[in-house]
Amino acid sequence: MEPIFREKFNDCLEKYIVHCEGTNWVERESYKFLFANWLNRKVNLRMQSVEKIYELCMQSLKEPYHNNEKGIQFIMKGAREKLSQPISLPDAELFKALAEKDDFDIIETYQRGMSFPVLSAWLGTLLPKKYICAPTTDFIHTIELLFKIKIASSGIDFFDKSQEYFKIIKTELIESGLKQYFLSNINIYLKVIYPNSPEKKKYDEYDWNWVTEDFALYIFREYLKLYIPKSKKPFEPISQPEKTNSEQETDSTQDNSNEEPNEPSNDEPDKPPDSKVAVSAELVDTLENILDIDEKYKTASPMVKEIISKRIERGAFSSKFKQVAGYKCMICERMGITPFSFKKPNGDYYIEVHHVIPVSELLKGSLSSANLITVCANHHRQLHYGNSKVEEIDDNRFIFRIDNKIWNIPKLKALKAKNIND
């Protein structure tokens, strides 16, 4: 086995850390960690029947993990074209057989419904101590870069070699002390589907498998610049997912004895909005929706308001607010410096939305448009972490003290519901 190319690995890791901390990469890629945590908590290969395993695996592809999209993209797209489903009953049989017998050669006795890369995604989640996730043959380029070796680009040979090299990468990442960037989004999601579950303090084995996949993906896409996107879709951060009918049925019928130890039951009665249980997804596309939420959630817990806050900041309402504000940083404009940032691929200037009164303070109106300003990324960070404070707020302006200087920032003129809907 070739040793890892230490200098190249360290360079990739350093740039990966910068990318995770300086871009929305973590938000974009969190969906696969949510998938892994949902699947690992629902499926018990040794205790459940093949039919139940198959049912839950299929259900896992219908969950709205990310940007309200259902399913894991590479698993859905990676199924063989001749099949109508991304996983078959024989696949579930294979999962169970591999859990009971540590012999990958038995794969030849099953009629698989998926490719080897896609198989690795399932096994790396369901049997994380035996297998690791390498869901695309594009990772041959990552392996070549880090180990100076070419491996087979398809079939069981790709599976075998990618498993060997990815396990080395996984060990290196763990030993590097890499910050657990995805843990926060995992906990937000787990609190939604298991309200009484204790907070997850560190990655599980399958989380580290997906970190390894994520690091390899970063190298292929960003470090080597080999990825050519087919299309670009609007992006939203992790937010409250709605439960599907199938999930509600499964929650009420699933035998809790098949769950992991200390796994909480999901059969508690619905609680009012002011409880600490995360609320169902709210409609936040119009000003009227926002004003309704102002009243409905004025006494909600910080966790609930944080989820709603994120949806408002980056949802359809936010986009319209930015447009009306002219995509300008209101603070830069007041200071007499250029209020525009860089242009995005769609031609709009990049700008962010800031809640002047933090949503977590539970004050009435903190979710409304009257509490928002548009700011550049630099001033957004300064308002949160720098030498700045809000001195006064009235109906027409915000008064900020920034670096010991007073700045009057006029509020955006009141937005009419009809304009938001235009």
pLDDT band at 44 (very low <50, low <70, confident <90, very high): very high
Give 402's contacts (C-beta < 8 A, 6+ positions apart).
331, 382, 383, 386, 387, 388
Token pair recorded at residue 397: 């302006």
- Encode pLDDT of 320-335 as tens digits: 778 888 899 999 999 9
pLDDT digit string (tens) for 16-34?
Answer: 999 999 999 999 999 999 9
Q: What angle (nearest 5°) sits at the alpha carbon of residue 197, between those of residues 208 and 307?
A: 85
Domain edges within the chain: 6-252, 275-421
By C-alpha distance, which of 271, 169, 256 is closest to 211? 169
Residue type present at position 355 = H
Give percent helix, percent strand, percent coil of the chain, each to the nearest 5: 50, 10, 40
Q: How far apart are CA 401 and CA 411, in angstroms?
A: 16
Q: Which has more confidence, 78 or 259? A: 78
Q: Where residue 230 falls among pLDDT bands split at 50, 70, 90?
A: low
Lowest mean pLDDT among 64-68, 85-89, 371-375: 64-68
Instruction: Name residues whose C-beta falls within 8 Å of residue 127's C-beta, 6 or more positions apart in sequence.
Output: 45, 95, 98, 99
| pLDDT over 90 (residue 6) | yes
